[in-house]
Chains A and B, each alone.
Chain A
Amino acid sequence: MDFSFTEEQTLLRNSVSKFLADNYKFEFFKKNSRTDPGWSPSVWKQFAELGLMAAPLPEEYGGLGGGAVDTMIVTEELGRSLVVEPYVQTVVVGGGFIGRGTEAQKAEWLPRIAAGEMVIAFAFAEPQGRFNYADLVTTAKKQGSNYVLNGQKAVVLGGPWADTLIVTARTAGGQRDAKGVSVFLVDKKSKGVVTRDYPTVDGLRASEVTFENVEVPAANLIGALDNGLELVELVTDTAIAAHASEAVGAMKVLLDATVEYSKTRKQFGVPIGKFQALQHRMVDMFMNYEQSASIALMVTLKLGEDTVERKKAASAAKVQIGKAGRFIGQNAVQIHGGMGMTDELNVGHYFKRLTMLDTLYGNVGHHLKRYAQLS
């Protein structure tokens, strides 16, 4: 057993964290996310130059051949700075799907992801479907050498910034059948793709996406026809791991900020950190953070295990991170008093990001059930 990072991994962390410390301060986050287009293509380019996109991708396709641990390092740092740029969507989800595609697909798209030339959003959720990836009204029907897509996708994160959508659609079976789910890569400029873009409460942007007879080349089918559900679960479990460490990064900032504030804020003639009621609360925040860091590491290291183990690890991470994110977020606000309620202070923004990360790919309740069913 060895939990130490390689020299390359330490260098990777240092370079991301230095870049963000210099270029992605809280004031930048606010301005960036609040002025159109709501993200920074120039930061994106610099991420690529730093090798962040390439880090986890295979070497033969322009990557650096790292893996889940590299992703964990990068996303933890991104979480610390509340980065909005769609790294996980593009590299982990996009790269995850394409990396399990055909030779031709890998050769065409992975190098472009690695170079920062592609921005991907994942259109999977539907208004009626909640957290069930198989609950699909969107259909794809074979017509000559194309598939024709029809349907509506809800809350596609990073949708407004994406040039490429990865879309789940039903190619066979009934609305909620496990069989009959397929995955397509769709050029967002395709005729019949209609988007409605809007900001999200945690500083991102999202789209409602409607597909009206959208023609997608059959060559853009990713994975096996009708058997995409397991692939979707695999890739989203990988994304869950990445977002888990993003959340861990955000939690650490909140924990540190709160402890620091409690040492300087005085009421009744003493720093509020002297009140034992608050001390115990902060100890609980600390333990929540530590447990979350542990589970984020666990899920990262278990992504390669057999399906049941992997799924259990991902669901365990969602539950732990969801609960801890809520506890740490709420109490960071509480201990900051009125200051914690302000838009001006960073605390509330981390709280909001952690809240929404609980929803993404299924909340605590959903994953408790999934875990229980797998056990």
Chain B
Amino acid sequence: MDMSFSPEEEAFRAEVRSFIAENLPKNLAGKRRSEYTTREEYLAWHKILYKKGWIAPLWPTEYGGTSWNVTQRYIFNEECARAETPMVLPFGVAMVGPVIYTFANEEQKKKYLPRILSGEDWWCQGYSEPGAGSDLASLKTRAVREGDHYIVNGQKTWTTLAQFADWIFCLVRTDMGRDTASTKVQEGITFLLIDMKTPGITVKPIIVLDGAHEVNEVFFDNVKVPVENRVGEENKGWTYAKFLLVHERSGIAGVARSKKAVERLREIAASETVDGKPLMGTDEFSRKIAELQIDLSALEFTELRTLAAESKGQHAGPQSSILKIKGTEIQQRITELTVEAVGYYAYPDARGFGDNEYPVGPDYAVGQSGHYFNMRKASIYGGSNEIQRNIIAKAVLGL
């Protein structure tokens, strides 16, 4: 047993670090909380990684992956977090891409995969519906076969950044006989790839707690989708969707980004003063941060244990729900403590200042409370933390 990195791994780290240092545009690094990353900014970083061949470390090399082992992927994530690069959004590269190279036909692979890698196509995820959140299989959006098309009617919701998307991957109901409360509701679901420019699609913004336009409602009114846009078999979409949900949990804990965020929090607490002395030097606050860091260290090793098992071919399975629960709880705790750290300057609404106007208070405080409010989403999406606990109870503990 050994937790140190080999010389090769250290060399890899140095390579990644210098690549980022040389290629990450300054204006994209560590953006202030109030400045929401634009479509262009996401894509700029995406394209830099694409050119280098590093956009999809998880993909098999035949489709454009990197053939990195788990340690290298871990190092890569760490270095990106350290440099505070923009995120690579999961919808194309981490979600629909793997579904396509695992379940789609050759033609589909040729058509979609290169454009996912290059960033030419922006994908969004059309799973949730107003009536189908935690109970996803109860979804009602229908696709009726007419010749070589499906006619899609219904509504998706909470669709992240659909306003930027070229394509949406959707779960739709094709077997109407099974949309009742029967135990087999999962069987009538089909996985469709839909061009967002198709007539009949309407996208309506949903504004979230910090004022961001982050999610949307997507309406389908007699939308004609070619049958060739179906992934795999009709009525078997649930299998593919589930694959996507459990596929590759590494990174879901967000450990590397959280470590960086704690570092930032410590800097803030070192700048804030209580009776003339740094907040970071008070027993009360330094203990809170210590507790957070201890939690994070434990999570890091839980993740490393999972990765180690995975690299030996053992699939972590339901146990990876721990990573989702603890990871998001820690992310939320960091934002909570940051709000606490900035004191009265948690009050100003970062969105209340014009583009050319300088906000009030210290720079590091700007937008922190908005970020705290926004991060409440993390325990709701991606399978809520209650649902994750149910999974552990059932599938791990056998209750």
Contacts and interface: CB of A to CB of B under 8 A. Distances in A.
A275 B360 contact: no
Given A127-B361, A343-B209, A348-B373, A135 B276 contact: yes
A46 to B, nearest CB: 27
Contact of A130 (B157, B273, B377, B381): B273
A359 interface: yes
Interface in B14-65: none
B275 interface: yes
Interface in B185-210: 206-210
B276 A176 contact: yes
Given A130-B279, A269-B181, 5 more contacts: A131-B343, A135-B275, A201-B369, A277-B386, A334-B380
A341 B344 contact: no
8 contacts: A128-B273, A198-B352, A198-B360, A202-B347, A268-B138, A277-B390, A342-B206, A342-B209
Contacts of A154: 344-345, 360-361
A348 B386 contact: no
A337 interface: yes
Nearest to B342: A359
Nearest to A205: B352
A132 interface: yes
Chain B: number of interface residues, binned into ranges: 35 or more
Contact of B353 (A130, A198, A359, A368): A198
A287 to B, nearest CB: 19
Interface in A247-298: 266-269, 275, 277-278
Nearest to B385: A334
Given A200-B347, A206-B348, A359-B343, A352 B361 contact: no
B122 interface: no
Contact of A201 (B138, B158, B348): B348
The 9 A-B residue pairs with the shortest CB-CB distance in the complex, in nearest-first order: A199-B352, A267-B135, A343-B207, A155-B344, A348-B209, A200-B347, A199-B349, A268-B135, A338-B158
Contact of B376 (A208, A275, A341, A365): A341
Nearest to A200: B347
Nearest to A134: B275
Contacts, number: 145
B373 A365 contact: no
A340 B378 CA distance: 12
Nearest to B357: A198
Interface string A183-200: 000000000000010111
A334 B209 contact: no
A348 B133 CA distance: 19
A355 interface: yes
A122 interface: no
Most chain B Cβ neighbours within 10 Å, of A155, A278, A330, A344: A155
Contacts of B377: 341
B370 interface: yes
Given A278-B386, A341-B380, A359 B346 contact: yes
Contacts of B133: 267, 337-338
Contact of B347 (A206, A275, A326, A341): A206
B339 interface: yes
Interface in A116-147: 125, 127-128, 130-132, 135
B389 interface: yes
A128 B372 CA distance: 23
Given A155-B348, A348-B373, A334 B379 contact: yes
A29 interface: no
Interface string A325-345: 010001001100110111110
Nearest to A333: B376
A47 B141 CA distance: 50
Given A269-B181, A337-B380, A355 B339 contact: yes
Contacts of B369: 201, 352, 355-356
A102 B299 CA distance: 61
A369 interface: yes
B369 to A, nearest CB: 5
A356 B181 contact: no
Interface of A: 125, 127-128, 130-132, 135, 154-155, 157, 175-176, 196, 198-202, 204, 206, 208, 266-269, 275, 277-278, 326, 330, 333-334, 337-338, 340-344, 348, 351-352, 355-356, 359, 363, 365, 368-369
Nearest to B384: A337
A18 to B, nearest CB: 30
A330 B285 CA distance: 21
Contacts of B134: 267-268, 337
B373 A201 contact: yes
Contacts of B248: none
A338 B157 contact: yes
A266 B208 CA distance: 22
A174 B18 CA distance: 50
A331 B157 CA distance: 22
> Which among B211, B273, B343, B390 has the greatest number of chain A C-beta atoms within 10 A?
B343
Contacts of A127: 345, 361-362
A342 B158 CA distance: 10
Nearest to A362: B343
A269 B279 CA distance: 50
A356 B345 contact: no
Contacts of A337: 133-134, 380, 384
Contacts of B175: none
A277 B131 CA distance: 21
A356 B211 contact: no
A176 B340 CA distance: 22
B284 interface: yes
B209 A352 contact: yes
Nearest to B340: A363
A341 B360 contact: no
Given A277-B386, A330-B376, A130 B347 contact: no
A200 B276 CA distance: 26
B121 interface: no
Given A132-B274, A201-B369, A125 B344 contact: yes
Contacts of A130: 272-275, 279, 343-344
